[in-house]
Amino acid sequence: MSLNCQDAARMLSEKRDRRLSLRARISLRLHMFACRMCKVYGSQLDTVGRVCREAGLRAEEKCPGEMTDGRKQRINDAMTREPR
């Protein structure tokens, strides 16, 4: 079984959510070995995933749900101070 790039891309993103079957992983690995494009794509996905995770954690710490009154006030101040 050989993959095309579309299959490989789909599997790369599935791999983030759930564990692929052994067969799928082998096919993917073979394709990645042969295809430079998908190898680059795969490492970009890893980077994006990591950055999102890190940013997500920080965002949760700093923005718990709704906008706080303090933040609204700061935005309001910034807008009224804006030179015309």
Compare residues 1 and 78 and give the one whose CB is closer to Zn ion.
1
> 20 by DSSP, 3-state: which?
coil
Which residue among 5, 55, 63, 75 contacts Zn ion (CB under 5 A)?
5
Does 28 help bind Zn ion (rule: CB under 5 A)? Answer: no
Tell me how far, at minimum, the Cβ of 35 lies from Zn ion, in Å. Answer: 3
Q: Within 13 Å, how many C-alpha atoms sit on residue 8's CB side?
A: 24
Does 35 help bind Zn ion (rule: CB under 5 A)? Answer: yes
Which two three-digit tokens encode residue 55? 């940013």
Does 75 help bind Zn ion (rule: CB under 5 A)? Answer: no
Compare residues 6 and 80 and give the one whose CB is closer to Zn ion.
6
Residues 11-20: contacts with CB within 8 Å, 24+ apart? 12/38, 12/41, 12/42, 12/45, 13/45, 16/45, 16/49
Residue ranges that bind Zn ion, judged by CB under 5 A: 5, 8, 35, 38
